[in-house]
Amino acid sequence: MLAGGGHAHLQLLADWIERGPPDVETVLISVRRTTLYSGMIPGWLAGAYRLEDATIDLAPLAERAGVRLVVDRLVGLSLARQEVELAEAPPLAFDWLSIATGGSAPAGLGDGADGAIAVPPIDRFADAWSQRQGRSPPRRVAVIGGGAAGVELAFALRAVFASAAIRLVAGRAGLLPAAGARARSRVAHALARRAIERVERDGHVAAGTVRLCDGTSFAADLVIVATGSGPPRWLGGAGLPLDDAGFVEVDAHHRVLGQHNLFAAGDAAQRVDRPVAHAGVHAVHAGPVVAANLRTLIGGGAGLDRYLPRKRTLYLLSTGDRRAILMWGGVALEGHWAWRLKDWIDRRWIAKFRRLSRRL
Ligand SMILES: Cc1cc2nc3c(=O)[nH]c(=O)nc-3n(C[C@H](O)[C@H](O)[C@H](O)COP(=O)(O)OP(=O)(O)OC[C@H]3O[C@@H](n4cnc5c(N)ncnc54)[C@H](O)[C@@H]3O)c2cc1C
């Protein structure tokens, strides 16, 4: 049983289409039939893409991978009964389970509470953004969250709302806390050049007002909260090993600690052997590892694959104006060429799933 149809499980399906699925009945449970590629969402906001360009239909992929797609919401997991609970249908039993339901919204901000839009989940963010279309443009905009998603969304909002006052509330740790000094400084300059004010204090939103940790506050007509993935709430109370924040603890094989038949990958999981950031790049690399390990174990084999992240990860942040910032180790460069590289990588990723969806 595959729980969640996002980045990690897309790669798992691709692996099973290309190398063969395990020889058992397999089910994919996803809250929607389609899934969105997050890398193109800031570009969609900025007008570089249509939403369809970033959308992948799970149904033909599942069919080609020999997997039955069930469109429903997972609401619980029982380890004792080895079954998952669904919102709309009776529980489903499993022998093997892979969890990749991504990150949840920060508490209390998932449903547009306080006029704020949260991301993730990406699909609900896209719904909320689509519903805003046609409204008069906001005058004061805030993005809370100084990680890659918050930065890219702030740039995208500048492209959409040329005359709005835009503030990026990056938190006390500042912009891109995990990046090197050169990348942080390059991004800070790029924000300043586009008149996006950087606020290096923690903040939260309440009733249309952004309140900062120093006691000051400011009003905003539009607030986007991108403070990172929250833990998968549907697993609360299931008795899985969770870290302090509530993410499912996995080893280098992406096997859930102490559970021989459970795997987890992507933003729902937390590696215990080394720090691995919650990022799409790691979700897409972990997916094929889970695919291979399930195929091996179900086939009666031994010797599991590990996901060993590279020392350096290539990051490309779009700046909303068909330019991008490339970050690689200590290098940070900006230009149109970086956007063209990002656009090529992103379109190629989507094209791969379109190709795999087609019958041979
Ligand atoms: C705006 C933005 C831009 C980003 N850009 C990048 C980038 O350029 N590079 C990068 O590396 N990372 C990026 N990220 C991070 C990246 O999106 C995540 O790390 C990645 O999506 C995690 O993949 P996943 O498979 O764990 O979950 P997801 O891709 O989020 O998929 C989870 C799936 O599970 C489904 N689901 C969730 N809950 C349930 C449930 N209860 N029942 C059934 N189905 C459920 C969801 O509908 C979804 O289809 C970005 C994030 C954001 C918000």
The CATH number linked to 205 is 3.50.50.60
Q: Quote the number of domains for the chain.
A: 2
- Does residue 126 share a domain with residue 181? yes
Sign, CA dihedral 269-109-140-204, equals negative
Rounded Cα distance, 164 and 138, in Å = 7
Asked if residues 87 and 75 have their Cβ atoms less than 8 Å apart, the reply is: yes
Residue at which a domain ends, from 206, 228, 250 = 228
Residues in the chain: 360
Asked if residue 42 belongs to a domain, the reply is no
300: which DSSP letter?
T
- Is 288 a pocket residue for ligand 1 (Cβ < 6 Å)? no
Spatial distance between the Cα atoms of 289 and 8, rounded to a whole number of angstroms: 10
Report the pLDDT value the prediction gives residue 30, as an integer from 0 to 100: 98
Q: Are 248 and 256 in contact (CB under 8 A)?
A: yes
Give the tokens for residue 164: 């709005």
Which residue in 102, 106, 89 sits closest to 230, CA to CA?
A: 106
Ligand 1 pocket, residue 74 CB under 6 Å: yes
Residue 48, in any domain of the structure: no
Show the low-confidence residues of the chain (pLDDT under 50): 110-111
Is 93 found in the same domain as 234?
A: yes
Q: What is the DSSP letter of 255?
A: B
DSSP 8-state code for residue 179: S
∠ CA 207-210-212 to the nearest 5 degrees? Answer: 135
**Within-domain flag for 243:** yes
Cβ of residue 267 lying under 6 Å from some atom of ligand 1: yes
215 C-alpha to center of ligand 1: Å?
33
Is residue 248 within 8 A of residue 232, CB to CB? The reply is yes
Q: Report yes or no on 183 lying in a domain.
A: yes
Region class of 96: left (phi > 0), else alpha (psi between -120 and 50), else beta? beta
Domain range enclosing 289? 2-31+72-104+229-309
Q: Are residues 78 and 126 in the same domain?
A: no
The best mutation among 9, 12, 57, 122 to test binding of ligand 1, ranked by most ligand atoms within 8 Å of the C-beta, falls on 122
So what's the pLDDT on residue 114?
A: 62
Q: For atom 13 of ligand 1, which residue has the closest CA?
A: 280
Residues 197 and 301 in one domain: no
**Beta strands 165-169; 196-199: pairing state:** parallel
**Is residue 301 a part of any domain in this protein?**
yes
pTM more than 0.75: yes
Which residue CA neighbors atom 16 of ligand 1 most closely? 280
Domain boundary among 267, 284, 309: 309
Residue 205 maps to a domain: yes
Identify the CA nearest to 1 among candidates 12, 80, 232: 12
The per-residue pLDDT for 110 is 45
120 and 218, same structural domain? Answer: yes
- What's the confidence (pLDDT) of residue 208? 79
Contacts of 208 (CB under 8 A, 6+ apart): 114, 115, 219, 220, 221, 223
Ligand 1 centroid – CA 74 distance (Å): 16
Instruction: State the Cα–Cα distance between residues 351 and 148, nearest whole angstrom.
Output: 24
Residue 117 lies in a domain: yes
Judge whether 41 and 53 are in contact, CB under 8 Å.
no
Looking at residue 3, the DSSP 8-state letter turns out to be E
337, 338, 341, 342 alpha-carbon torsion, rounded to 10°: -140
Q: Are residues 84 and 152 in the same domain?
A: no
What distance in angstroms lies between residue 11's CA and the mean position of ligand 1's atoms?
Answer: 13
Asked if residue 194 belongs to a domain, the reply is yes
Task: Tell me the best of 30, 101, 155 to mutate to test the pocket of ligand 1, counting ligand atoms within 8 Å of each CB and taking the most.
Answer: 101
pLDDT score for 155: 98
pLDDT score at 278: 92
Residues 224 and 126 in one domain: yes
